[in-house]
Amino acid sequence: MDPYAQFRGEILSLIDEAVASLYGKIKSKPALEKPPEDFGDFSFPCFQLAPVARKSPSDIAAELAGFVKSKKSEWIEKVEEKNGYVNFFVNKTKLAELALKGAFEKEDKREEKVILEHTSANPNGPLHVGRARNPIIGDTLARIFRWRGYDVETQFYVDDMGKQVAILMWGLKNIDMKVEEKKADHRLVAFYQKAYEMMEEDEEVRKEIGQIIKKCEEGDRETLEEMKRAYEKALDGIVESLKRLNITIDSFVEESRFVLDGSVQYVIEELKRTEFADYENGALYLDMENFGIHGRNKKFFLTRNDGTSLYATRDIAYHLWKGKRADMMINVLGEDHKLEARFVEVALKILGSKTPVTVFYSFVSLPEGKMSTRRGRVVYLDDLIEEAVERAYEEVRKRRNLDEERARFIAEKVGTGAIRYNIVKVNPEKAITFRWEEALNFEGESAPFIQYAHARCCSIMKKAGVEDADFTKVDFSEYSHPQEINLIKAIASFPGVVRRCEEEFNPAFLAEYAHKLASSFNAFYRDCQVVGSEKERERLALVRATQQTLKNALTLLGIEALEEM
């Protein structure tokens, strides 16, 4: 239930009726704006009607306001005309009732299936900080789409035929060295880095690795099995790291399956029959000029000159497979994949398939600069997690005298929550420099700030001894204090924010909302006595609805809603 959507719908319906009655049918649909706080909850600008009505916007606003006032609406408390705008004020009692009851309701289930691919990192070592954004954005979007009622399956596309895994496999077979790291993915990356170094210096090593890749691309099952044995422990390590960030993946889809089942060959055969196909030195490519891609990037190669497929060709086969199993495909990709994603999208359109929605993100860096797995200049996600948890532990110890087990539990949830929030709060296309002073700031725009607000709600309810009480039958007309109204409006906004995240494929709006809700609650708690006040029951109902809405928001952000901090 979205109270503001209902209020907005009521306004639009009345404006439609008023315009038709006063000025006749018009082609354009009325649009509402969000005005400054003192000017109502929604505004209708009348300038768009001036050419049709042949009147000034101020006169139109006065006529529309008069028409709306003549109609009875349970949603509208007040209508004002000002400077060519009609300003609408929501009925606060109605909003309070729907917002506080709706805080405990779930979205209806839908029939649509969504396959959301994220992370899909090369399984040749641990995830590094630079790519940490991918699984966090992907998992948060999956949670949002599930909340909105979709049947969501998350997938990790395993590049089990690529150069990175071939280098790892060669290193494990040919390099004899001891690595002290306990975690498997950290051990294996040392072999990868050494093998990469040897490949750069020795042509013979390069040829041997090339032969491994060629055998994989030809569908040699024995080589592919050997590749799997080489990478699966690295993949297990990646999964372990993700789990610590409260991220799980439903399915792992191996790239090789589409070579082995003939899907890749089907793609090649179908595309080479099109008018866009051509050859260069025996290598098949599509000419992208007709699709707005020019210059040196206009040739999209599907095969090498020996006929073996390329990664993007296999990616097309993967998307054809996904498209048959889902109503919607969503991909989370780094900005360095934009051109290849465009190639794949064009090829899918040529083949008459669904195309994915792609969320591109810029990379995360630390103040020290960028990272490179190949050269070993890297900060791993595991290192970031450990550092975050240790810093959170120090903060928890400063604030509370807790037993060690409880302090460690809270520190784990605060530290990992801080990483998730600090990364997801920024629009995906903007670059991030991760700074500790922002991520673990208990007073700023951070996960600990929001978690603390939730813990405070829990504490109030516990102190009042009404954690399980039913507050659906309070007197909703009792809310009059400005901070009560602000908090009710913040709670009522939650469904609309989640819907916007879904429609724009951007979880940053939810992170911003959660901070605003926590801030609104803190202001309410500062200015309005709860326990022991004359309106204790009504205010406890407000605290309980805030607690639930904060929990919902934190859960969608993949962050633990702690009951104490």
CATH number, position 483:
1.10.730.10
- The answer to whether position 76 is within a domain reads yes
The token duo for 482 is 């400005």
Does residue 280 belong to any structural domain of this protein?
no
Please report the pLDDT score of residue 379 as a whole number. 83
Which residue from 186, 99, 12 is spatially nearest to 546, judged by alpha carbons?
Answer: 99
Extended beta strands in 36-99, E state: 42-45, 76-82, 85-90
Give the pLDDT confidence score for residue 264 in this predicted structure. 96
pLDDT value for 504: 98
Q: Does residue 473 sit within a domain? A: yes
| 45: in domain | yes
Of 90, 105, 135, the residue at which a domain comes to its end is 90
**Closest C-alpha among 74, 10, 1 to residue 44:** 10
* pLDDT at res. 371: 45
d(CA 201, CA 420): 40
* Residue at which a domain ends, from 90, 118, 139: 90
Q: What is the pLDDT along the chain (565 residues), one digit of tens a residue?
A: 899 999 999 999 999 999 999 998 887 777 899 999 889 999 999 998 999 899 999 999 999 999 999 998 999 999 999 999 999 999 999 999 999 999 998 888 999 999 999 999 999 999 988 889 999 999 999 999 999 999 999 999 999 999 999 999 999 999 999 998 889 999 999 999 999 999 999 999 999 999 999 999 889 999 999 999 999 999 999 999 999 999 999 999 999 999 999 999 999 999 999 999 999 999 999 999 989 888 888 999 999 998 889 999 999 999 999 999 999 999 999 999 999 999 999 999 999 999 999 999 998 887 865 544 444 457 899 989 998 999 999 999 988 888 999 999 999 999 999 999 999 999 999 999 888 788 788 788 999 999 999 999 999 999 998 877 777 789 999 999 999 999 999 999 999 999 999 999 999 999 999 999 999 999 999 999 999 999 999 999 999 999 999 999 999 999 999 999 8
Mapped to the 3 state alphabet, what secondary structure does 378-410 carry? CCEHHHHHHHHHHHHHHHHHHHCCCCHHHHHHH
Q: Which of 67, 90, 113 is the last residue of a domain?
A: 90
What's 336-359 look like in SS3? HHHHHHHHHHHHHHHCCCCCCEEE
Residue 529: Cβ-neighbour burial (10 angstroms; 0-12, 13-18, 19+): exposed
CATH number of the domain at 67, please: 3.30.1360.70
DSSP letter assigned to residue 429: T
* Cβ atoms within 10 Å, residue 236: 14
CA 543, CA 100: separation in Å to the nearest integer?
Answer: 10
Please report the pLDDT score of residue 377 as a whole number. 55
**Looking at the 3D structure of the chain, how many domains does it have?**
2
**Rounded distance between C-alpha atoms, residue 493 and residue 477, angstroms:** 19
Residue 69: inside a domain: yes
345: in domain:
no
The pLDDT value recorded for residue 369 is 56
Which residues are within 8 A (CB) of 511 and not within 5 positions of it... i.e. 6 or more apart?
Answer: 421, 424, 425, 557
Cβ-Cβ contacts under 8 Å for 338 (sequence gap 6 or more)? 360
Q: 55: domain range? A: 3-90
Distance in angstroms (rounded) separating the CA atoms of residues 246 and 136: 9
For residue 506, being part of any structural domain is answered with yes
Nearest to 541 by CA among 461, 453, 450, 455: 461
Domain-located, residue 460: yes
- Residue 214 φ/ψ, nearest 5 degrees: -60, -45
Let me know: does 33 contact 42? Beta carbons within 8 Å. yes
Residue 123 to residue 191: CA distance in whole angstroms:
13
Give the pairing type, strands 357-361 and 328-334: parallel
Specify the pLDDT at position 374: 46
